Amino acid sequence: MMQYLDTIQPELMNITRLFGIPDSEWEVPRYTYSAWADAGRYHCRFTDGTHTAEASVAIPPHEEEERLLTLHRKRAARRLVRQTLYDLCRETTGIHPPWGSLTGIRPTHLMYEAIGLGLAGEAAKQYVIDRFDVQPDRADILWEIAQVQGQLPPPEDRWMDVYIGIPFCTTRCTYCSFSSGELGKGKLVEPYLAALFHEMEACSGMIAATGRSLRAVYVGGGTPTSLNEEQLRRLLDKMMQCFPGAMEYTVEAGRPDTITPGKLEAIKAAGVGRISINPQTMNDETLRIIGRAHTARQVIDAYAMARAAGIHHINMDVIAGLPGETVEDFARTMAFARQLKPESLTVHTLAIKRSTRLHFENYRFPTGVEAAQMVQLGLETARALGMQPYYLYRQKNMAGNQENIGYALPGHACQYNVDIMEETTHILALGAGGISKRVYEDEGHIGRAPNVANIEHYIARVEEMIQRKRELFEVPAQ
Ligand code: SF4
């Protein structure tokens, strides 16, 4: 059994982080474990010097072919070790993490596992709770999300989504983890668009060539509306020429200061039904701290402009746990959300990489309890607006080990968001940093073809990016 566990420490550190235990505790070394097998069971004992937790699990029996048997035994051993450490941390800290011992980014998969076993309602929720010690309110949300997703066109092999990336922003948010570049004087924009349009044309026939149909198109980044009006118009024309007939088109208009009546008119005229205008917070001081060059007032004006342009679906992104923010600050942002009445609301919880922390070293971060209160306020606001949760994902290092949840009015769930999060639909991704995905449903495997993230490299190597997609989807060159 020990041979299976040689590489497990990073996973174990993910468990201790759930309890706010610093990674340095592993250097002491504070945590030690022993693992052994006897009488048809794996055993594991964890200790932190003062407390000990011990557990065992049956060794999967010899009824499978050798490769599967090894895999199942390896999984059983890892689960046992992770769970024993989790029990030890829960006992010694008294903390019950909202997602229990789950450290993955897609908790919905666990609910779908329960549904796949024929469970429904309370029984499905209980399965999720028992399996990973997930808190009951989170199990409720997972069940509700599965119900909402169940009303969308089912994910089938015949569908493909398209992602088009515009990797420019007017300024860089200090928490940003995307590969977007600052617009600066805009020198790279025209060469970038030329390469992107070439990639769009070259890939326009790929969906039909694989015998599939287009489902949703998402223009993200970056901030696509950081293009000027004429460039945005050309982009949307090219999009409709190359990828017509999708069920849903979304354009990220994230920064309110990039939005003009002319750009909204271009979006509307192209037939795009959904845009995203993202305040993140309605607190001007926080907006300054996180490097967004706009004010709360500009958010209000942008919403008014979009409504005047006849945009009927606006999504709003907010972030709980921003540096220096209190629960009251977040409550104020939520009060604005109630006034602005977006059709969908995505409540993120701040997840920051260690390097990004440097930007914020003078600011206090909300505690886990405060982050939980903010997330709860997000939920209450969405409910007050008549919305339901429809997708959810987690990231590493999220404040209070919370989550990101997308809420929407009935009939307004974003198909693309569901597809990308559930990883059930093929994605053809264009532009710098886009990652195309092919879903091999039967094998439970995703094939990927990433485009390079660096803008200049993308421009220089666009032919290679096209070829990668041809290979992934097995489309011969014309
Ligand atoms: S708007 Fe989005 S992509 Fe642009 S810098 Fe901010 S977080 Fe990054």
Cis peptide before 222 (omega within 30 of 0): yes
Tell how far the Cα of 203 is from the centroid of ligand 1, in angstroms.
Answer: 27
Q: Which residues contact 413 (CB under 8 A, 6 or more apart)?
A: 148, 149, 151, 152, 344, 390, 391, 406
pLDDT-wise least confident of 53-57, 195-199, 429-433: 53-57
Nearest CA to ligand 1 atom 2: 222
Angle at 26 between CA 25 and CA 31, to 5 degrees: 95
Percentage, residues of the chain above pLDDT 90: 67
Tell how far the Cα of 176 is from the centroid of ligand 1, in angstroms.
Answer: 5
Q: Per-residue pLDDT for 357 more than 70?
A: no
d(CA 344, CA 314): 7
Q: Per-residue pLDDT for 24 more than 90?
A: no
Q: Which atom of ligand 1 is nearest to the CA of 167?
A: 3
Tell how far the Cα of 418 is from the centroid of ligand 1, in angstroms.
Answer: 21
Tell how far the Cα of 48 is from the centroid of ligand 1, in angstroms.
Answer: 41
pLDDT-wise least confident of 188-197, 226-235, 438-447, 448-457: 438-447
CB 454 within 8 A of CB 432: yes
Q: Which amino acid is at 432?
A: A
d(CA 97, CA 128): 14
CB 347 within 8 A of CB 322: no
pLDDT band, very low/low/confident/very high, at 465 (cuts 50, 70, 90): very high
128-168 pLDDT, tens digit per residue, is 999 899 999 999 999 999 999 999 999 899 999 999 999 99
- Average pLDDT along the chain: 91
Q: Which atom of ligand 1 is nearest to the CA of 255?
A: 1
Q: Considering all CA atoms of the chain, what is the largest pairwise distance in Å, rounded to the nearest integer?
A: 74
Q: Which residues contact 37 (CB under 8 A, 6 or more apart)?
A: 1, 43, 59
**DSSP secondary structure code for residue 177 in this structure:** -
Q: What is the CATH number of domain 159-468?
A: 3.80.30.20
Give me the phi and psi of 107, to 5 degrees please.
-60, -20
DSSP string, 219-233: EEES-GGGS-HHHHH
Nearest CA to ligand 1 atom 7: 176
- Return the SS3 of 22: coil
Torsion on CA atoms 101, 105, 111, 114, rounded to nearest 10? -70
Task: Residue 175: name the closest of 10, 373, 317 by CA.
Answer: 317
**Cα Rg, the chain, nearest whole Å:** 24
Ligand 1 environment, Cβ below 6 A: 169, 172-173, 176, 178, 180, 221-223, 254-255
Q: Per-residue pLDDT for 205 more than 90?
A: yes
Nearest CA to ligand 1 atom 8: 176
Tell how far the Cα of 47 is from the centroid of ligand 1, in angstroms.
Answer: 43
Identify the H or E element spanning 114: helix 108-116
CA distances from 433 to 167, 444, 462 (A): 8, 24, 12
Reading the block at residue 296, the tokens are 């709360």
Q: Which atom of ligand 1 is nearest to the CA of 177?
A: 8
Q: Higher pLDDT residue, 50 or 405?
A: 405
Nearest CA to ligand 1 atom 6: 173
Q: Per-residue pLDDT for 179 more than 70?
A: no
Tell how far the Cα of 222 is from the centroid of ligand 1, in angstroms.
Answer: 6
Q: 171, 174, 182, 223: which to mutate for ligand 1, most atoms within 8 A of CB? A: 223
- Domain ranges for the chain: 2-93, 108-150, 159-468
CB 429 within 8 A of CB 451: yes
Nearest CA to ligand 1 atom 5: 172
Q: Per-residue pLDDT for 72 more than 90?
A: no
Where do we find the tokens 């600052």?
182
Q: What is the structure's pLDDT at 246?
A: 97
d(CA 347, CA 316): 8
Strands (E), 81-234: 159-166, 168-169, 181-182, 213-221
pLDDT-wise least confident of 5-9, 132-136, 221-225, 356-360: 356-360
Q: Per-residue pLDDT for 41 more than 70?
A: yes
CA distances from 197 to 9, 235, 242 (A): 45, 8, 9
